[in-house]
């Protein structure tokens, strides 16, 4: 089992659990080689965090996590230029992007993924936490996407989100299995629905409407007397 806090895919349900090793507590990009526990963290700066370099046995290029939009309708994006550990590798790499201070939101969350892979597969999942702490005990949002592989793959999943009036953190995680090279783009989009507001006239307007009604009745009564 990986030392990093990881998303577990079991019986078609993606869940979240905490591992024995401490993970970052500030927003940013976190990469972990599950074969040896080697990890790299890049803090969020200006709404994004990027990494190019090595993580354990993996060589990673142009991997960026970005918060495209915040507020009650946040949009998070995790883009991988390439990542590989050799085509004969049986290990896996986890890449997690987490940010905070979204919401409050109540609506739907959609996780979409597209890309290319060779000799491996990519699995995506997303979560949120009303504790509003980066990488903090996320609850599964959409059920996950994948594993996907091959040329020009794509997939998506949708779930419900209700932060109960609280701000929250959100995260995307990708698991790259096999020693492939990947070109991948994964986006989490949250659409918060607002209740329909019914306009009710204030007390002053109600009195005006009542006065107009009474005046109209008086005019109608005088008209009937004149006709009679």
80-139 tens-digit pLDDT: 998 888 666 778 899 999 999 999 999 999 999 999 887 788 999 999 999 999 987 677
pTM: 0.76
Spatial separation of the C-alpha atoms in residues 101 and 228, rounded to whole Å: 74
Element (H, E) at 209: helix 203-227
What is the structure's pLDDT at 111?
A: 94
10-28 tens-digit pLDDT: 222 233 333 335 678 899 9
25-39 tens-digit pLDDT: 899 999 999 888 889
41-60 tens-digit pLDDT: 999 999 999 999 999 889 99
Q: Which residues contact 199 (CB under 8 A, 6 or more apart)?
A: none
| C-alpha 27 chain-centroid distance | 14
Q: What is the DSSP string of 66-128?
A: EEEE-TTS-EEEEEEEEEES-TT---EEEEEEEEEEE---EEEEEEEEEEEESSEEEEEEEEE
Element (H, E) at 223: helix 203-227
């Amino acid at each position: 089992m990986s030392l990093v806090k990881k998303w577990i895919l079991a019986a078609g349900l993606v869940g979240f659990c905490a591992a024995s090793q401490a993970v970052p507590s500030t927003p940013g990009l976190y990469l972990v080689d599950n074969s040896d526990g080697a990890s790299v963290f890049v803090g969020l700066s200006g709404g994004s965090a990027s990494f190019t370099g090595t993580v354990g046995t993996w060589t990673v290029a142009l991997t960026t996590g970005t918060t495209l939009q915040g507020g009650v309708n946040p949009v998070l994006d995790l883009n991988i230029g390439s990542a590989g550990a050799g085509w004969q590798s049986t290990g896996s790499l986890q890449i997690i992007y987490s940010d905070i201070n979204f919401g409050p939101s109540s609506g739907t969350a959609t996780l979409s993924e597209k890309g290319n892979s060779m000799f491996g597969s990519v699995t995506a999942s997303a979560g949120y936490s009303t504790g509003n702490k980066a990488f903090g005990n996320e609850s599964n949002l959409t059920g996950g996407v994948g594993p996907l592989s091959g040329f020009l793959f794509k997939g998506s999943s949708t779930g419900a989100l209700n932060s109960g009036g609280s701000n929250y953190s959100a995260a995307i995680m990708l698991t790259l299995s096999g020693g492939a090279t990947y070109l991948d783009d994964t986006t989490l989009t949250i659409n918060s629905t607002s209740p329909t507001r019914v306009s009710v006239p204030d007390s002053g307007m109600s009195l005006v409407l009542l006065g107009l009604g009474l005046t109209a009745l008086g005019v109608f009564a005088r008209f009937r007397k004149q006709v009679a």
